[in-house]
Amino acid sequence: MSELNLILLGPPGSGKGTQGERLQEDFRLPYYATGDILRAAVAEGTELGRTAKEYMDRGDLVPDEVIIGVIAERVEGAEAADGFILDGFPRTVGQADALGEEMEGLGRSITAAVLIDVSDEEVVRRLGGRRTCAKNGHIFHVDFDPPKNEDVCDICGARLIVRDDDKPEVIRHRLETYHEKTKPLVDFYEERGVLKRVDGSLEPEEVGNRIRALLATLRMEEEL
């Protein structure tokens, strides 16, 4: 496959980050997680970060004009010449149109939009139990990966907190936002013949295997 330009779709807590990192390792492609980029800007106190924080704290989407430029810079960069993995962008049809125009201008196209499908109930269970190290950001989960001592990071001993966007009321709002704004992307990419669905309720290893299998199928189809 000449280049591999991937978009990971799915609700918050679907495992996009886990699968994005695995794909990055498997295919040696840059992995752009929009949430990480924005949180870094928040931590640095940049103008972008201050603006983004107001929206993120409420569980709202960051406005298009704030994020599109950030993504465009990375897609155009030399490190993305052989492809890229996008996680968290696009989140709306408007953003998808903007990305499509950007790609068309570069003479490129999206290889696949991979939908990691997970129910709302599973999202609440996954995110509601997540605990984050206040000092270094290490992640634990009360069910899947509990710390040895409650509310204490195993790695550095710092306090574990419930991140603002992992609080129940914010999770519910994030899901409402996802269904209203982001789910139409499924139709958008399905109409363009690049949507690929994967059952995100499976174990992470199996989800990863299925994504690699569908990408292998795409590679074979291209070579025919």
Residues 53, 63 contacting (CB under 8 angstroms): no
Are 11 and 54 in a shared domain?
A: yes
List the CATH number of the domain containing 91: 3.40.50.300
Domain region containing 140: 119-162
With 70 as the cut, is the pLDDT of residue 45 above it? yes
What are the residues facing 159 on neighbouring strands?
152
- Is residue 16 among the annotated active site residues? yes
Does the pLDDT at position 214 exceed 60?
yes
Judge whether 61 and 12 are in contact, CB under 8 Å.
no
Query: Which is the catalytic residue, given 39, 91, 126, 196?
Result: 91
Instruction: Please report, rounded to a whole number, the percentage of residues in the chain having pLDDT higher than 70.
Output: 99
Average pLDDT, integer, range 123-128: 90
Average pLDDT over residues 111-133: 93
* Whether 77 and 149 share a structural domain: no
Are 208 and 19 in contact, with CB atoms under 8 Å apart?
Answer: yes
Phi, psi for residue 31 in degrees, rounded to 5? -115, 115
Whether 110 and 20 share a structural domain: yes
More confident call, 150 vs 40: 150
Q: What is the mean pLDDT of the chain?
A: 89
Q: Is 130 a catalytic site residue?
A: yes
Global pTM value: 0.79
Percent of the chain at pLDDT > 90 equals 57
The answer for residues whose C-beta is within 8 angstroms of residue 50's C-beta and 6 or more apart is 42
Which amino acid, residue 12?
Answer: P
Average pLDDT over every residue of 147-157: 95
State the pLDDT at residue 12: 87
User: Which residue is catalytic, options 39, 53, 126, 130?
Assistant: 130
Phi, psi of 119 (to 5 degrees): -75, 160
pLDDT interval class at 147 (50, 70, 90)? very high
* Pair (51, 131) in one structural domain: no
Do 78 and 175 sit in the same domain of this protein? Answer: yes
Residue 68 confidence (pLDDT)? 81
How many domains does the chain fold into? 2
Q: What is the pLDDT of residue 3?
A: 87
* pLDDT band per the 50, 70, 90 thresholds, residue 224: low
Confidence (pLDDT) at 134: 94
Lowest mean pLDDT among 2-6, 60-64, 134-138: 60-64
Q: What is the mean pLDDT of residues 160-187?
A: 90
Residue 1: pLDDT over 60: no
Tokens of 19: 């699968």
Which of 108, 125, 163, 197 is labelled catalytic? Answer: 163
Catalytic residue, chosen from 22, 174, 196, 210, is: 174
Examine the pLDDT at 49 and tell me if it is beyond 60.
yes
Told to judge if 58 belongs to the known catalytic residues of this protein, a careful annotator would answer no
Please determine, for residue 37, whether its predicted confidence score (pLDDT) is greater than 60.
yes
Check pLDDT > 60 for residue 212.
Answer: yes
Active site residue 163: yes
Same domain assignment for residues 137 and 98: no
Q: DSSP letters of the chain?
A: ---EEEEEE--TTSSHHHHHHHHHHHHT--EEEHHHHHHHHHHHT-HHHHHHHHHHTTTPPPPHHHHHHHHHHHHHSGGGTTEEEEES---SHHHHHHHHHHHHHTT----EEEEEE--HHHHHHHHHTEEEETTT--EEETTTB--SBTTB-TTT-PBEE--GGGSHHHHHHHHHHIIIIITHHHHHHHHTT-EEEEETTS-HHHHHHHHHHHHHHHHHHHH-
Do 69 and 40 belong to one domain? yes
Clarify whether 91 is annotated catalytic. yes
Query: What span, in angstroms and rounded, lies between the C-alpha atoms of 88 and 114?
Result: 12
Q: What is Dmax (Cα atoms) for the chain?
A: 56
Domain boundary among 162, 195, 215: 162
pLDDT reported for residue 79? 87
Residues 106 and 176 in one domain: yes
Residue range 198-217: mean pLDDT, rounded: 94
CA dihedral 3, 65, 181, 213 (to 10 degrees): 10
Residues 101 and 47 placed together within one structural domain of the fold: yes
